[in-house]
Amino acid sequence: MNTQRAHPGRPRLVPATTTATPHDQVLHAAARLFVTKGFAATSTREIAEKVGIRQASLYYHFAGKDEILAELLQRSVRPTVDKVEQIERLAASETHETALYVLASVDVHTLAEAPHNIGVLATLPDVTSSGAYDAFRSTRAELADAYGRLAAQVAGPGIADGPEPRHLGEMLMHLVEVVTSLRGIGVTIDHATADAIASTCLRACGISDDRIATAATSAARLVGRLPDMP
Amino acid sequence: MNTQRAHPGRPRLVPATTTATPHDQVLHAAARLFVTKGFAATSTREIAEKVGIRQASLYYHFAGKDEILAELLQRSVRPTVDKVEQIERLAASETHETALYVLASVDVHTLAEAPHNIGVLATLPDVTSSGAYDAFRSTRAELADAYGRLAAQVAGPGIADGPEPRHLGEMLMHLVEVVTSLRGIGVTIDHATADAIASTCLRACGISDDRIATAATSAARLVGRLPDMP
């Protein structure tokens, strides 16, 4: 079906004047192919063709498809995890509730910005079992743990003592991952949706509406101040 | 790598004395292969080999791989959707809160029982875009709508008026789908976990702990009475 042939030197799809590095151009083209035609059905040759580089050049940047997908998946969690320490420090100066609201807001933003909604591929069998994705799985576990720690502080004793805090963390992380499904059905993730998701996280920990409103107000003030925040 | 060859007539993996129909044996073998080695990497020849039937016999039961996966995916939602009408009727005789608790509990049970945790494949690009999965996507949308309708009744006006009720429904459905992630990391879904998940759904709608406890008690009594319920 594909009438395009490898043709090194033909004009690049992304003009060379773009600021995207070749590394990022490969990631972008791969994400589009993985999500539209599937990971297994996509070859590195095809990715190289889309970028307009030789397959050999692609291997200069990446060891193979797994490494490309692993880096893409990291982009759906790493930006959030990189801010976890800073967010948890907010719990001291502000409240645990505000910190959890900020964590959820930042995570919504990361998932909304992830190239080509790449998060949909996080449950691929390759990803859940192959060693090539150990780093991604461990980053994702870090995020679940951060949700778990904050949720355990925020939730009343009856809730926090119930399931393991880690499970509560997994539940909240899953709830926020609704972003991936909403994007999948064409919903634009605007501020109202992001606030609804973060509020629902706090509500799931048993926080009352007035305290959620307070956390939301503080979070709105803080989110703009964190470096590289939405 | 695969040293097994097509060998019609060799002893069946699942003995013929089993009560599973050939149709179900194909589904079972396919689910295991799809989840362990990936959907795209699995051939119908390989599925037929695992069952110990000819490839031609497999095509007597299914038009192809897509039809097999579509039926498997339906098994992760259909058992819940089939009970939605009955569950929504509970809202009249009991409370909307109890009905939502029952819906979440039934859904947890369905996801915990789905063969080989097949729900992990629901976000495959093929599944989210190909016409072969229209029926599955529409069943899943029915389930999200049911969550949305009950959540809109249960949640206070401040919550229900916020995001579209459909989005709140999507969030709760996502929260319950944590079952798939928990199974993926080897967690057994016991009654305590199921109760924690259903309770968190109600809490996410702003329900207080004492009312959640009441709904949980009523749900425990009712779930056993619904036909084919856990």
Q: Same structural domain for residues B102 and B29? A: no
CA distance, residue A198 to nearest chain B CA (Å) = 11
pLDDT higher than threshold 80 for residue B205: yes
Give the CATH number, domain containing residue B30: 1.10.10.60
HEC secondary structure over chain B: CCCCCCCCCCCCCCCCCCCCCHHHHHHHHHHHHHHHHCCCCCCHHHHHHHHCCCHHHHHHHCCCHHHHHHHHHHCCCHHHHCCHHHHHHHHHHCCHHHHHHHHHHHHHHHHHHCHHHHHHHHHCHHHHHCHHHHHHHHHHHHHHHHHHHHHHHHCCHHHHCCCCHHHHHHHHHHHHCHHHHHHHCCCCCCHHHHHHHHHHHHHHCCCCHHHHHHHHHHHHHHHCCCCCCC
CB contact A213 to B (< 8 Å): no
Pick B37 or B158 by higher pLDDT. B37
pLDDT tens across A116-132, in order?
888 888 877 777 777 88
Q: What is the pLDDT of residue A36?
A: 80
End-to-end CA distance of chain A: 41
Q: Same structural domain for residues B77 and B57? A: no
**C-alpha A107: how far from chain center:** 7
* Mean pLDDT, chain B, integer: 85
Question: What is the torsion angle, in degrees rounded to the nearest 10, for the CA atoms of residue A101, residue A103, residue A106 and residue A109?
Answer: -80
Q: Is A156 helix (H, G, I), strand (E, B) or coil?
A: coil
Band of pLDDT at residue B119, cut at 50, 70 and 90: confident
Q: Same structural domain for residues B132 and B103? A: yes
Q: Same structural domain for residues A133 and A215? A: yes
Q: What is the pLDDT of residue A2?
A: 42
Residues A119 and A173 sit within 8 Å (Cβ to Cβ): no
Residue B39, domain member (yes or no): yes
Q: Which residues of chain B are within 8 Å of residue A159 when distances are taken between CB atoms?
A: 199, 203, 209
Pick B157 or B148 by higher pLDDT. B148
CB contact B213 to A (< 8 Å): no
- What's the average model confidence in pLDDT over B150-154? 91
Q: Same structural domain for residues A112 and A27? A: no
- Please compute Rg for chain A using Cα positions: 20
Residue B1, domain member (yes or no): no
State the sign of the Cα–Cα–Cα–Cα dihedral B6, B9, B15, B18.
Answer: positive
- What's the average model confidence in pLDDT over A31-60? 90
Residues of chain A numbered 25-64 and touching chain B (CB < 8 Å): 34-41
Q: Same structural domain for residues B119 and B79? A: yes
B143 CB burial (10 A radius; 0-12, 13-18, 19+): buried
Q: Which residues of chain A are within 8 Å of residue B170 when distances are taken between CB atoms?
A: 178, 181-182
Count up the domains in chain A and report the number: 2
Residues A222, A220: Cα–Cα separation, whole Å:
6
pLDDT higher than threshold 90 for residue B37: no
Q: Same structural domain for residues A22 and A83? A: no
Q: Of the candidates B102, B127, B100, which has an alpha carbon nearest to the alpha carbon of residue B39? A: B127
Least confident window among A126-140, A187-201, B14-28, B138-152: B14-28
- What's the average model confidence in pLDDT over A24-39? 89
Residue corresponding to tokens 């579509």: B70
Q: Of the candidates A133, A107, A93, A129, which has an alpha carbon nearest to the alpha carbon of residue A194? A: A107
Q: Same structural domain for residues B80 and B175? A: yes
Residue B149, domain member (yes or no): yes
* Per-range mean pLDDT, top range of A19-28, A73-82, B180-189: A73-82
Q: What is the pLDDT of residue A13?
A: 44
Q: Same structural domain for residues B181 and B108? A: yes
Q: Which structural domain, as residue segments, surrounds residue B148? A: 73-223
Q: Which residues of chain A are within 8 Å of residue B128 when distances are taken between CB atoms?
A: 120, 184
Q: What is the pLDDT of residue B105?
A: 96
CA distance, residue A9 to nearest chain B CA (Å) = 31
Tallying the residues shown for chain A, one arrives at 230
Of A36, A37, A171, Cβ closest to residue B175: A171
pLDDT higher than threshold 90 for residue B124: no
Q: Same structural domain for residues A90 and A145? A: yes
- What's the average model confidence in pLDDT over B179-184? 88
Q: What is the pLDDT of residue A14?
A: 44
Q: Same structural domain for residues B78 and B186? A: yes
pLDDT tens across B53-82, in order?
999 999 999 999 999 999 999 999 999 999
